[in-house]
């Protein structure tokens, strides 16, 4: 089983790691975003007024960013946290990796 908050290289190290409690919340949020995207397809298909469609695109984008923030928060609280607590070079690598992910989100 892959773990979310650790690199998949040593999954045996902590077989219980993973999405835990927030998995349900993430999946619920993603299903809601999926519903928004399908709603957008209906809006385009029925020639809904463009500005209303754009408002729904903004709402879906915002919902996706909330997913990103939840993922990031729990990544910092678990993966980065554990790497730092364990000490060593892994900690720096985890911080650099997280910063790069944040940069991708800000430029998205």
- Can residue 14 be called a binding residue for a second copy (CB under 8 A)? no
Size of the site for a second copy (CB under 8 A): 72
Q: How far apart are CA 100 and CA 94, in angstroms?
A: 10
Among 10, 85, 88, 89, binds a second copy (CB under 8 A): 85
Angle at 34 between CA 4 and CA 62, to 5 degrees: 80
Residues 26-65 that bind a second copy (CB under 8 A): 26-27, 30-31, 33-34, 37-38, 40-41, 44-51, 53-55, 57-62, 64-65
Asked if 74 and 22 touch (Cβ cutoff 8 Å), the reply is yes
Indicate the residue among 12 and 85 with the shorter CB distance to a second copy.
85
């Amino acid at each position: 089983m892959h773990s979310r908050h650790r690199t998949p290289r040593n999954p045996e190290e902590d077989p219980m790691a993973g999405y835990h409690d927030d998995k349900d919340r993430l999946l619920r949020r993603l299903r809601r975003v999926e519903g928004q995207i399908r709603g957008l397809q209906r809006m385009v298909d029925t020639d809904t007024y463009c500005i209303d469609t754009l408002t729904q695109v903004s709402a879906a984008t915002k919902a996706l960013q909330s997913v990103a923030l939840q993922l990031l928060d729990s990544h910092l609280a678990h993966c980065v946290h554990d790497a730092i607590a364990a000490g060593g070079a892994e900690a720096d690598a985890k911080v650099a990796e997280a910063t790069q992910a944040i940069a991708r989100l800000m430029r998205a």
